[in-house]
Amino acid sequence: MKPFSLPKNFLLGTATSGFQIEGGDTNSNWYDWCQKGHISDKTSCIRADDHWNRYKEDIELIKKLNNKIYRMGIEWSRIEPKKGEFDKHAILHYRDEISLLIKNGIKPLVTLHHFSHPLWLCDEGQFENKKVVDYFVRYVTYVVENLGDLVTDYITINEPNVYGTCSYFSGEFPPGKKSLKLALKIFRNMSICHIAAYKAIHKIRKEKGFKGKTMVGIAWHLRVFEPYSKNPLDKLMACILEFLFQGAIFKSMADGRLRIPLGTSAPYGKGNYQDFLGINYYTRSSTRFRGFKYDYMPDTPRNDLDWEIYPEGLSILCRKFYNKYKLPIWITENGTCDNSDAFRLEYIYDHLFEIYKLCKDGIPVERYYHWTLMDNFELADGESARFGLIHVDFETQKRTIKRSGYFYSEVCKNNGVTKEMINKYIKKINLSV
Tens of pLDDT, residue by residue over 30-60, are 999 999 999 999 999 999 999 999 999 999 9
Is residue 384 over pLDDT 70?
yes
Count CA atoms closer than 13 A to 426's CA, side-chain side.
20
Mean pLDDT of 384-407: 98
- Do residues 82 and 55 make contact, with C-beta atoms less than 8 angstroms apart? no
**Residue 427: predicted pLDDT:** 61
Q: How confident is the model at residue 290 (pLDDT cuts 50, 70, 90)?
A: confident
**Given this model, what pLDDT does residue 350 score?**
98
Which pLDDT score is estimated for 291? 67
Q: Which carries the bigger pLDDT value, residue 378 or residue 294?
A: 378
279 and 318 Cβ atoms separated by less than 8 Å: yes
What is residue 141's predicted lDDT score, i.e. its pLDDT? 98
Q: 264 in helix, strand or coil? A: coil
Q: What is the pLDDT confidence band of residue 292, given thresholds at 50, 70 and 90?
A: low
Nearest alpha-carbon partner for 412 in 373, 357, 363 = 373
For 5-15, write each residue's pLDDT tens digit: 999 999 999 99
Distance from the Cα of residue 135 to its chain's centroid:
22
Contact 162, 221 (CB under 8 A): yes
CATH superfamily of 4-425: Glycosidases (3.20.20.80)
pLDDT at residue 433 greater than cutoff 70: no
Q: What residue ranges in 127-233 does DSSP mark as E strands?
A: 153-158, 215-227
Q: What residues contact residue 262 under an 8 Å CB cut-off, 6+ apart?
A: 184, 187, 188, 191, 248, 249, 252
Distance, in Å, from the CA atom of 53 to the CA atom of 204, rounded to the nearest integer, reads 30
Provide the total of helices (H) and of strands (E) in the chain, helices listed first: 15, 13
Average pLDDT score over residue span 110-135: 98
When pLDDT is averaged across residues 126-149 and rounded to a whole number, the result is 98
Is pLDDT at 268 greater than 70 in this prediction?
Answer: yes
In this prediction, residues 354-361 reach a mean pLDDT of 98
Distance CA(194)–CA(47), nearest Å, equals: 30
Nearest-angstrom CA–CA distance, 127 and 185: 8
Average pLDDT over residues 88-92: 98
CA distance linking residue 47 with residue 394, whole number of Å: 8
C-alpha to C-alpha distance for 340 and 344, rounded to whole angstroms: 9
Count of CA atoms in the C-beta half-sphere (13 A) of 276: 26
- E-only strand ranges, 26-152: 69-73, 107-111
Q: How many CB atoms lie within 10 A of CB 393?
A: 10
Band (pLDDT 50/70/90 cuts) for residue 189 is very high
> Can you name the residues that pair with 329 across neighbouring β-strands?
277, 365
Residue pair 286/227 in contact by the 8 Å Cβ criterion: yes
Tell me the mean pLDDT in the region 262-279. 96
The more confident residue out of 288 and 312 is: 312
Average pLDDT, the chain: 96
CB 216 within 8 A of CB 274: yes
Q: How would residue 431 be classed by pLDDT, with cut points 50, 70 and 90?
A: very low
Percent of the chain at pLDDT above 90? Answer: 94
Query: Stretch 153-179: mean pLDDT, rounded?
Result: 97
